[in-house]
Amino acid sequence: MPEISPDGAPQLPHHKVKYKKAFQRACNEPDAKGKLCGGHLKRWFYLADVLEQTCGDVRQALGDQAEIYRCEHCRTLYLPSDEEPKGRNVAGLGRQSAFGLTLAPKPAEEKEKQ
């Protein structure tokens, strides 16, 4: 059973694990001098990672289908927060186009005619 950090994230022997804040996109892990890392958080598919396959910590602790993000610089792992929707892009929900290029969904009647 993995140890639990103060924020509630399970700590693994070879990985530092944290929870993301809602819609967080950059790493907030301080280095030895106290400066924030600031690396981008990217969705990490650990089953395809050759180095993780030899380690196996993440798969054993979180299973095969866990949604995990990893900092591109310091390799800190982030679990998604409960406040944001599951399976969304790290960049967030997006927004409607300011130029009117976003198309509105078609009504059900038009879909049936096509």
Q: Convert the pLDDT of each residue in 8-40 to its tens digit.
A: 677 787 888 898 888 888 999 998 899 999 999
Q: Using an 8 Å Cβ cutoff, are 62 and 80 in contact? A: no
- Domains in the chain: boundaries: 1-92
Per-residue pLDDT at 40: 93
3-state secondary structure of 78: strand
pLDDT tops 80 at residue 106? no
Residues 83-92: pLDDT tens digits?
776 655 555 5
Could you tell me which residues are beta bridge partners of residue 59?
A: none
Render the burial of 95-104: b for 16+ CB within 10 Å, e for the rest: eeeeeeeeee
Give me the helices (H) in 4-107, please.
Answer: 50-55, 57-62
Checking if the pLDDT of 45 tops 80, the result is yes
Q: What is the mean pLDDT of residues 94-114?
A: 65
The whole-number pLDDT of residue 26 equals: 92
Nearest to 8 by CA among 18, 23, 16: 18
The one-character DSSP state at 48 is G
The predicted pLDDT at position 1 comes to: 43
pLDDT at res. 110: 61
Percent of the chain with pLDDT over 70: 69
- Asked if 51 contacts 59 with a C-beta cutoff of 8 angstroms, the reply is no
